């Protein structure tokens, strides 16, 4: 554990548990446990709705005195710093002792602390018996501005799901080219652009395409939106997201759903599909495997469930036709 560099602290509601685990598995190749995860992979917390903080561990030791010596050796000179103590499972350090330890760290740093508006946050914690110190990077939640997008859709997915879909599709990479195959008013496109992912959108309905373009322009994001049936997209993508029509506002028959999945399967090897029904057969018909899946309910609604399916092209058939 001492070789791993980043400790992630997650926060989510009970109904988002499966989605958060699906996302962390796609990004880190491991599921968060007890809302914590340690990894060498560096991810910006604000690109996820569930990562609240990342601690960049610069010193670690099983022995507390050794940790303090290591922190001193870092020769940190910082005005306006603040140190926070994080209590994790298995750490029985009492409150007064925790304050003493915060002072120990404070004395290792050259500069005056600022508890009210700190310039830099540091963390001290004991994770699985190892004392860790490092800089804390918080989720800035600036993406909440997307709530004020000019155009919405009453059955659009929420921002938390949209952010997770982007991360699941891109597997934490900012280099992969993504497609939102049924982009509607662009909820997913906005989150991808905010996080610095490469994405394009497509929708058969010109009205929602225009709204999607206006939403993107409102936040000064640029992403191409194709107003066409997905079957007419010829470009290849590293991964595609499909938020299938739910038969509510955007009516779709079983054939329409099969058509959308099969057409998108022609232009990528990785699909992340959102549905309200069981689409196992439609996925299998495309020659894709379901590598992971989860269910997401709406806050307070037990009778509306969405399923998210992560699908990969069968290894023996990996070339894109
Ligand atoms: C559930 S909505 C997507 C909502 C979107 N995620 C949002 O947040 O606004 C499904 C969309 O699929 C589009 N659609 C239906 N059939 C399509 C097709 N063959 N090709 C492309 N888009 C299609 C509909 O116009 C609708 O906007």
Please report the pLDDT score of residue 3 as a whole number.
Answer: 56
Give the integer Cα–Cα distance in Å for 30 and 24: 6
Do 60 and 106 sit in the same domain of this protein? yes
Do both 168 and 256 map to the same domain?
A: yes
**Residue 23 belongs to some domain of the structure:** yes
Q: Please tell me whether residues 28 and 163 are part of one structural domain.
A: no
> Cα–Cα distance between 54 and 161 in angstroms, integer?
20
User: Cβ < 6 Å from ligand 1: which residues?
Assistant: 153, 155-157, 182-185, 187-188, 202-205, 208, 229-230, 243, 245-246, 250, 256, 260
Query: Can you give the pLDDT at residue 297?
Result: 82
Closest atom of ligand 1 to 274 CA is 1
The ligand 1 atom at the shortest distance from the C-alpha of residue 180 is: 6
Domain boundary among 101, 117, 138: 138
**Is residue 92 pLDDT above 70, yes or no?**
yes
Could you tell me if 217 and 271 lie in one domain? yes
Tokens of 39: 């990894």
Q: Which of 150, 152, 182 has the most ligand 1 atoms within 8 A of CB, as the residue to mutate?
A: 182
**Two tokens at 297?**
């309910």
Q: From atom 27 of ligand 1, which residue's Cα is the shortest distance away?
A: 184
Give dist(CA 304, CA 300) in Å, integer. Answer: 10
CB 221 within 8 A of CB 194: yes
The predicted model gives 117-136 an average pLDDT of 97
Task: Assess whether 173 and 267 both reside in one domain.
Answer: yes
| Shared-domain flag, residues 36 and 179 | no
Question: Measuring CA to CA, which residue among 121, 130, 105 is closest to residue 38?
Answer: 130
Same domain, 130 and 148: no
The answer to whether 173 and 192 are in contact (CB under 8 A) is: no
Instruction: Transcribe 146-161 into DSSP letters.
Output: GGG-S---TTPPPHHH
- For residues 147 and 283, state if they share a domain: yes
Residue at 264 is within a domain: yes
Predicted confidence (pLDDT) per residue in 236-294, tens digit = 999 999 999 976 555 678 899 999 999 999 999 999 999 999 999 999 999 999 999 99
Q: What domain range includes position 113?
A: 6-138
Same structural domain, 93 and 115: yes
CATH number at residue 265: 3.40.50.150
- Indicate whether 1 belongs to any domain: no
Ligand 1 atom nearest residue 185's Cα: 9
Q: Is residue 304 part of a domain?
A: yes
Residue 317 has pLDDT above 60, yes or no: no
Q: Which residue has the higher pLDDT, 78 or 254?
A: 78
Q: Per-residue pLDDT tens for 130-182?
A: 999 999 999 999 999 999 999 998 778 899 999 999 999 999 999 999 999 99
How many angstroms is it from 306 CA to the middle of ligand 1? Answer: 15
Sign of the alpha-carbon dihedral angle for 270, 275, 281, 286: negative
What is the distance between the alpha carbons of residues 38 and 21, in angstroms, rounded to a whole number?
A: 14
Q: Does residue 180 sit in the same domain as residue 293?
A: yes
Same domain, 44 and 82: yes
C-alpha 139/C-alpha 238 separation (Å) is 27
pLDDT for the residue numbered 301? 62
Residue 205 domain-assigned (yes or no): yes
Tell me, yes or no, whether 218 lies in a domain: yes
* The predicted structure's pLDDT at residue 252: 78
Q: Find the CATH number of the domain harbouring 51.
A: 3.30.2130.30
Mean pLDDT of 212-240: 98
Does a structural domain hold residue 286? yes
Please count the structural domains in the chain: 2
In a shared domain, residues 90 and 196: no
CA atoms of 112 and 46, how far apart (whole Å): 28
CA of 106 to the centre of ligand 1 (A): 54
The domain boundary residue, chosen from 138, 157, 188: 138
d(CA 224, CA 66) in angstroms, rounded, equals 54
Closest CA to 295 of 9, 10, 21, 11: 21
Mean pLDDT of the chain: 94
Nearest residue (by CA) to ligand 1, atom 26, is 184
Domain boundary among 84, 114, 138: 138
Residue 293 lies in a domain: yes
Q: How many residues does the chain have?
A: 321
């Amino acid at each position: 554990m001492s070789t791993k560099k980043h400790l992630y602290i997650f926060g989510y509601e009970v109904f988002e548990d499966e989605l958060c685990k699906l996302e962390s598995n796609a990004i880190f190749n491991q599921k968060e446990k007890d809302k914590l995860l340690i990894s060498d992979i560096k991810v910006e917390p604000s690109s996820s709705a569930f990562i609240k903080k990342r601690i960049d561990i610069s010193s670690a030791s099983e022995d507390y005195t050794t940790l303090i010596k290591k922190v001193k050796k870092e020769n940190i000179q910082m005005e306006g710093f603040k140190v926070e103590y994080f209590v994790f499972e298995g750490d029985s350090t009492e409150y007064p002792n925790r304050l003493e330890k915060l002072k120990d760290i404070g004395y290792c740093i050259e500069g005056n602390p600022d508890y009210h508006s700190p310039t830099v946050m540091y963390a001290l914690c004991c994770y699985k018996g190892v004392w860790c110190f490092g800089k804390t990077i918080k989720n800035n939640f600036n993406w909440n501005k997307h709530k004020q997008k000019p155009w919405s859709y009453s059955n659009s997915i929420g921002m938390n799901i949209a952010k997770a879909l982007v991360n699941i599709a891109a597997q934490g990479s900012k280099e992969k080219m993504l497609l939102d195959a049924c982009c509607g008013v662009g909820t997913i496109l906005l989150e991808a652009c905010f996080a610095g992912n490469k994405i394009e959108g497509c929708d058969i309905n010109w009205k929602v395409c225009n709204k999607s373009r206006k939403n993107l322009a409102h936040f000064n994001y640029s992403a191409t939106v194709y107003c066409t049936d997905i079957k007419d997209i010829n470009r290849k993508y590293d991964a595609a997201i499909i938020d299938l029509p739910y038969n509510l506002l955007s009516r779709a028959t079983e054939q329409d759903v099969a058509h959308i999945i099969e057409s998108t399967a022609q232009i990528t090897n990785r699909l992340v599909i959102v549905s309200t029904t069981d689409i196992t057969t439609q996925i299998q018909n495309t020659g894709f495997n379901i590598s992971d899946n989860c269910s997401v309910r709406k806050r307070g609604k037990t009778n509306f469930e969405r399923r998210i399916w992560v699908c990969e092209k069968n290894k023996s058939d990996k070339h894109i036709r």
